[in-house]
Amino acid sequence: MVRKVLGGVVGIAIQDRMADNHCYGCGSENPVGMQIKSYWDGDETVCRYQPRPEQCAGPTQYLYGGTIASLIDCHTVCTAAANQYRLEGREVGEGEMIWCVTGQLTVDYLAPTPIDKPVDLRARIEEVSGKKTILTCTLHSGDTLCAKGRVIAIRVPNSWRG
């Protein structure tokens, strides 16, 4: 586990505390995945991601919309899982694992996202009721708001993992 600094936020990424996670977007166990890293920053989580050239849209200078959706999806779902740990008074990865999945994902694309510089995501929990967490997320490239999303994440039993 690597300690990182992101905009003044220091700590171990949420994803690096989630054992045996092979998700393409957020799994630290997936060597060809995006391996995003999310960190708590007060009541929000933050993530910085450097797009790769193969993640381009039709015009190669812009990030593909599906990658943007994946970034928002994985960042918010990991935030929901981390919050479930907080609600139980545990650190992420402590004791029995907590997993959440996407129940609904809505993305609004507001501006083209340049592929040649990092994107910054911020997720905020809007509501928690039982197993359901509703979150919002923004994706910026520099000072430009390029996309925003809304996610409903659902906590699933460990048997979900098979």
Structural domain harbouring 101:
41-161
Q: Can you name the residues that pair with 101 across neighbouring β-strands?
A: 154
Question: Domain with 104 in it: what CATH number?
Answer: 3.10.129.10
Task: At 119, list the tokens.
Answer: 């994107």
* 25 assigned to some structural domain: no
* 149 assigned to some structural domain: yes
Task: At 14, list the tokens.
Answer: 């949420």
Separation CA 160–CA 162 (nearest Å): 5
Mind listing the pLDDT tens digit for each residue in 92-108? 999 999 999 999 999 99
Task: At 77, list the tokens.
Answer: 């779902």
Mind listing the pLDDT tens digit for each residue in 99-137? 999 999 999 999 999 999 999 999 999 999 999 999 999
Q: Which residue in 33, 100, 117 sits closest to 67, CA to CA?
A: 33
Task: At 115, list the tokens.
Answer: 């592929």
Mind listing the pLDDT tens digit for each residue in 41-63? 999 999 999 999 999 999 999 99
* 136 assigned to some structural domain: yes
What pLDDT shows up at residue 32? Answer: 95
Locate tokens 């505390």: which residue? Answer: 17
**Structural domains in the chain (count):** 1
